[in-house]
A = this chain, B = another copy of it.
């Protein structure tokens, strides 16, 4: 049984999973290459065969979390036909992920993870969909004729801001569970749609 083989067999995945879980629970500062190696039962130099340096490992974790966010957004999007409902559901899903996995959410949007990574293209694809949706709404007379790009960006900024505040435990929204996060996201989105009426 538990015999010591020279080769681990699945070291890359083992490291990635352990690191992913640790970062989720304790934060990025909580992991070290050496500790991960110990936990996997390999020497401290072994991890560097699979991740050239620590930042690459963190990037891989961020990519995994980013993919999970994308998966959730797609999931809720296909569940509801109506375009507006779809949009709201995606907002809620985004904010909920931030509430449930604040550290991973932060890592996905950290500067080091963002630079030159997947976020560019995946995100851009979703943005094009959103803009198409808005233009559709404008043609149907449901949405005022403001710049669609601006409308999309504003919606995103609101969603992202809420998510960030929750993830960072901003004093204003401290300790929201994901149900409260859901309600807040819906209310704020609604408010954006109707406008707060200053002007």
Q: Provide the bound-state CA to CA distance between A120 and B170, in Å.
A: 8
Give a binary string over A79-118; 1 marks a CB under 8 Å from any B CB, 0 the rest: 0000010010000000000000011001001110011000
With A111-B102, A164-B109 already in contact, the answer to whether A172 and B156 are too (CB < 8 A) is: yes
Q: Provide the bound-state CA to CA distance between A129 and B84, in Å.
A: 34
Contact B111 A144 (CB under 8 A): no
- Is A10 an interface residue, CB under 8 A from the partner? no
Instruction: Determine the interface band of chain A, counting residues with CB < 8 A from chain B.
Output: 35 or more
- Is A142 an interface residue, CB under 8 A from the partner? yes
- Is A35 an interface residue, CB under 8 A from the partner? no
Contact B161 A191 (CB under 8 A): no
- Is A165 an interface residue, CB under 8 A from the partner? yes
Give a binary string over A117-146; 1 marks a CB under 8 Å from any B CB, 0 the rest: 001100110010000000001000011101
Contact B165 A197 (CB under 8 A): no
The chain B residue with its CB closest to the CB of A150 is: B187
From B84, B142, B154, B163, A192 is in contact (CB under 8 Å) with: B154
> A190 — which chain B residues lie within 8 A by C-beta?
199
Contact A171 B84 (CB under 8 A): no
From B84, B106, B198, A193 is in contact (CB under 8 Å) with: B198
Contact B159 A196 (CB under 8 A): no
> A193 — which chain B residues lie within 8 A by C-beta?
195-199
12 A-B pairs with C-beta separation under 8 A: A114-B168, A114-B171, A123-B172, A137-B198, A143-B196, A150-B187, A150-B191, A153-B172, A161-B164, A164-B164, A192-B192, A195-B196
